[in-house]
Amino acid sequence: MREPLLEADQERAAICSWQDHGDRKALELLLRSHARQAWSQAARFTDNPVHMEDLASEGFIGLMRAADNFDRAQEVRFSTYAGWWVMNGVSSALARTKTVIDVPSRTYLDAHLGKLDEDERQRVRMAVQGCIAIDYAPDEEDNPRGRDILISDDAGPEDIVTEDSRHRQISGLIGSALARMSKEESEVIRRRKLQPAPDSYEEIAFDLRVTPERLRQVEKRALMRLRRILIDCGFSRSVLA
């Protein structure tokens, strides 16, 4: 931070030496004279010494990228050009450094600057702190208790696996039951009861070459047989009622 700033001609000479000849001493001179930019940007977001060092390191990487990409044809000082690179490096590392759970850097910055609604800010705070108080009382009716924030209506991994296993088991039992029925019975069950949009009696009757009245009788008999077979397989009568 006590390194003197370079004059414009010294700055240009260092950039030329680095870009044209890969002179590491020129790059070091450039970085040392602009180190205050990296530290100043890091200090905007934290006063934790460990975090500040991590963020400043990302700022230094931004300075090096600025040195690589600086367009010498432009009449601009290096500090002005490097400002964006330093800010981008620090802000990209900010969420990664300070949060327990990964949060997009843009989201973290928006929360820090007050650009998110209260619910979103609360979620970001949970990610940063890694914990949430679950015993505080609500301030208002619209402000839920802490533990209520943790409740989700979405199915968890265990629920999804259980439901998938149950679905496969039921599908297998129904398939076995249909295999024990006649062709007409199994066809009418599949097309009337096991499709999102059931086919009409007329369509099925035409395909099976029977009358619609006959098909209704077949369906009634097939449903009774299916119910009996499933009960024998262990299905509850209340489920099949």
3-state secondary structure (DSSP) of residue 66: helix
Residue 66 to residue 79: CA distance in whole angstroms: 9
- Residue at 165 is within a domain: yes
Section 221-240 average pLDDT: 74
Q: pLDDT at position 70, please?
A: 93
Q: Which domain holds residue 129?
A: 105-149
Record the pTM: 0.44
Distance of CA 52 to the CA centre of its chain: 27
Q: What is the CATH number of the domain that holds 219?
A: 1.10.10.10
- Residue 120, domain member (yes or no): yes
Within a domain: 3:
no
Contacts of 123-126 with C-beta under 8 Å, sequence gap 24+, read: 124/99, 126/101
168 and 202 in a single domain? The answer is yes
Is residue 1 one of the residues assigned to a domain? no
Q: Are residues 87 and 58 in the same domain?
A: yes
For residues 53-73, average pLDDT: 91
Q: What is the CATH number of the domain that holds 26?
A: 1.20.120.1810
Rounded-to-integer distance, Cα 204 and Cα 94, Å: 64
CA–CA separation, 148 vs 102, rounded Å? Answer: 22
177 has pLDDT over 60: yes
Instruction: Return the higher-pLDDT residue of 109 and 213.
Output: 213
Do residues 82 and 30 both lie within one domain?
Answer: yes
What is the total count of domains within the chain?
3
Name the pLDDT band for 33 (thresholds 50, 70, 90): very high
Q: Where is pLDDT greater, at 50 or 4?
A: 4
pLDDT digits (tens, 9 = 90+) for 197-216: 889 989 988 988 889 898 89
| Angle, CA of 107, 56 and 69, to the nearest 5° | 85
Indicate left, alpha or beta for 234 from its phi (over 0: left) and psi (-120 to 50: alpha). Answer: left
Cα separation, 221 vs 189, in Å, equals: 10
**More reliable by pLDDT, 36 or 236:** 36
Q: Say whether 150 sits in a helix, a strand or coil.
A: coil
Q: Is residue 2 part of a domain?
A: no
Q: What is the pLDDT of residue 215?
A: 87
- C-alpha 185/C-alpha 178 separation (Å) is 8
Q: How large is the average pLDDT for residues 30-53?
A: 86
Same domain, 111 and 71: no
Query: What pLDDT band is residue 69 in, cutting at 50, 70 and 90?
Result: very high
Residue 64: predicted pLDDT: 94
88: confidence class by pLDDT, cuts 50, 70, 90: confident
Cα 165–Cα 169–Cα 173 angle in degrees, nearest 5? 170
Which residue type, as a one-letter code, is found at position 108? Y
Residue entry with tokens 């989201």: 107
Q: Is 87 exposed, middle or buried (0-12, 13-18, 19+ CB in 10 A)?
A: middle
Quick one: 115 and 196 in the same domain?
no
Please report whether residue 25 resides in a domain: yes
Distance from CA of residue 193 to its chain's centroid? 38
- CA-to-CA separations, 213 to 182, 192, 216, 228, in angstroms, rounded: 18, 15, 5, 23
Q: Please compute the mean of the pLDDT values over residues 31-54 and round it to a whole number.
A: 86
User: pLDDT for 140-163, tens place per residue?
Assistant: 555 555 555 555 667 777 778 888
- Do 110 and 172 lie in a common domain? no
Question: Does residue 20 share a domain with residue 48?
Answer: yes
